[in-house]
Amino acid sequence: MHVATGGVLSVSTATLLLRMTPWEDGTFKEKKKGGKKKHGESHKVSTTQFSDPAEVTEFVVNQGNGVKGLSETGIKALPDQYIQPFEERLINKFVNETDEAIPVIDMSNPDESKVAKAICDAAEKWGFFQVINHGVSLAVLDNVKAATHRFFNLPVEEKSKYTKEKSLSTNVRFGTSFSPRAEKALEWKDYLSLFFVSETEASQFWPDVCKNEALDYMNKSTTMVRKLLEYLGKNLNVKELDETKESLFMGSMRVNLNYYPICPNPDLTVGVGRHSDVSSLTILLQDQIGGLHVRSLASGNWVHVPPVPGSFVINIGDAMQILSNGRYKSVEHRVLANGSNNRISVPIFVNPKPESVIGPLPEVIENGEEPIYRDVVYSDYVRYFFKKAHDGKKTVDFAKI
Ligand SMILES: O=C(O)CCC(=O)C(=O)O
């Protein structure tokens, strides 16, 4: 009997309990047991089987069921293609052995200079921090979380209207893993990615069940984003966030709705693999489940980012690392898969405009500091990122001198 790496039966060899075949509409019916299911409840079976890994890929990636669909079949063993190499799995002992924690910063502190300093220090030392009392109401956060669940609870035939092949807009994409065609091992995550072009475009093409909430969430977060960028900019000698700087720091935005379903063997895979973001800043809303881990620059340990109700997790992205000539750090992070709970998160990637040229800011190098990055067109940088699988901090080498 074949045993997969890590001592778990691979899906292709686990005991055949039920054989599932797809309906034409992509849902599933039982072949052997339990008689006929009514349409719509057919995927609520407890055990399933795929005879080979290609069937899993067909079901998850090509038919648009995602890992949520796979998880809901009651699958008992992780399919081979989700088994990560040993060194990529997040072994819990690394996490438990450290008492390091990313800073939690109260933005309502009346001493604004203290807030600004805490944010800039965290951007330099951690590349990550959480903010509380940030001015975005709990209702807006709760609404976008509910909208995320609504979208992922849609039947597969509705969600798959937004796959790369079928979506009516290149700015709206429902997908799974990170880059399934480029990855040796897949990631246990589904997502809906919404690139903002205009209110009109969004209202025409974003899914009805979540568009108002996602737009509201993005719009209501913009004041906080501007404030964070003002603090970070001032510390780099950028006097004000004028039109040019706005376009460079926050000229485009993407909202992602992420869904991490329950995983049969969470220790063997990842929700999201090691990577840094290509954004200038990422604003992340997570639910109460947890699982995000950040690489400590000081120790190299993986540090858990505990959910703090009502907070945002903020991180510096590669574009800001490049603009600040390496002063602010875009740090590796990853997400654990979870064996007992579904998890959602809703990041806003705050980016330069695609056509912007990014390189160390004149304000940073005017005092004679040696630039360590060259100028690159932002869309070239992003294209390079998406062409490959997640690979830690390697993307930024693209812009290294
Ligand atoms: O879900 C999370 O906590 C982080 C997600 C993330 O790193 C990403 O979407 O790039």
- At position 163, the amino acid (one-letter code) is T
pLDDT confidence band for 328 (50 / 70 / 90)? very high
According to DSSP, the β-strands at 272-275 and 333-335 are: antiparallel
Which atom of ligand 1 lies nearest, measured to the CA of 343? 1
Are 156 and 64 contacting, i.e. CB atoms less than 8 angstroms apart?
yes
28 Cα–ligand 1 center, Å = 30
Please report, rounded to a whole number, the percentage of residues in the chain having pLDDT higher than 90. Answer: 72
Asked if residue 7 has pLDDT above 50, the reply is: no
217 Cα–ligand 1 center, Å = 17
How far apart CA 84 and CA 6 sit, in angstroms, is: 10
Asked if residue 14 has pLDDT above 50, the reply is: no
pLDDT confidence band for 91 (50 / 70 / 90)? low
Which atom of ligand 1 lies nearest, measured to the CA of 313? 3
Q: Looking at ligand 1, which residue's alpha carbon is closest to its atom 3?
A: 292
Percent of residues in the chain assigned helix, strand, coil, to nearest 5: 35, 20, 45
Among the residue ranges 104-118, 324-338, 386-400, the one predicted with the least confidence is: 386-400
333 Cα–ligand 1 center, Å = 8
Tens of pLDDT, residues 335-361: 999 999 999 999 999 999 999 999 999
How far apart CA 392 and CA 276 sit, in angstroms, is: 6
According to DSSP, the β-strands at 272-275 and 312-316 are: unpaired
Estimate to the nearest angstrom the gap between the alpha carbon of 327 and the chain centroid. Answer: 24
Contacts of residue 2, defined as CB under 8 A and 6 or more positions apart, other chains included, come to: 9, 10, 12, 13
Asked if residue 130 has pLDDT above 80, the reply is: yes
Tens of pLDDT, residues 226-248: 999 999 999 999 999 999 999 99
- At position 260, the amino acid (one-letter code) is Y
**Structural domains of the chain in order of their starting residue, each with its CATH number:** 11-29+42-93 (no CATH), 100-399 (2.60.120.330)
pLDDT confidence band for 395 (50 / 70 / 90)? confident
Give the residue among 66, 15, 14 at the shortest CA–CA distance from 43: 66
How much is the average pLDDT of 277-300? Answer: 96
Q: At what angle do helices 243-250 and 211-234 cross, to 10 degrees?
A: 120
With a Cβ cut-off of 6 Å, ligand 1 is lined by 256, 258, 272, 277, 284, 286, 292, 333, 335, 345, 347
Give the residue among 214, 194, 216 at the shortest CA–CA distance from 205: 194
Asked if residue 126 has pLDDT above 90, the reply is: yes
Asked if residue 364 has pLDDT above 90, the reply is: yes
60 Cα–ligand 1 center, Å = 20
Tens of pLDDT, residues 164-212: 999 999 999 999 998 877 778 899 999 999 999 999 999 999 999 999 9
> What pLDDT shows up at residue 217?
98
How far apart CA 217 and CA 36 sit, in angstroms, is: 42
Are 205 and 173 contacting, i.e. CB atoms less than 8 angstroms apart?
no
Asked if residue 369 has pLDDT above 70, the reply is: yes
> What pLDDT shows up at residue 95?
54
358 Cα–ligand 1 center, Å = 23
> What pLDDT shows up at residue 33?
33
Q: Which two tokens stand for residue 99?
A: 């008492």
DSSP one-letter code for 62 = I
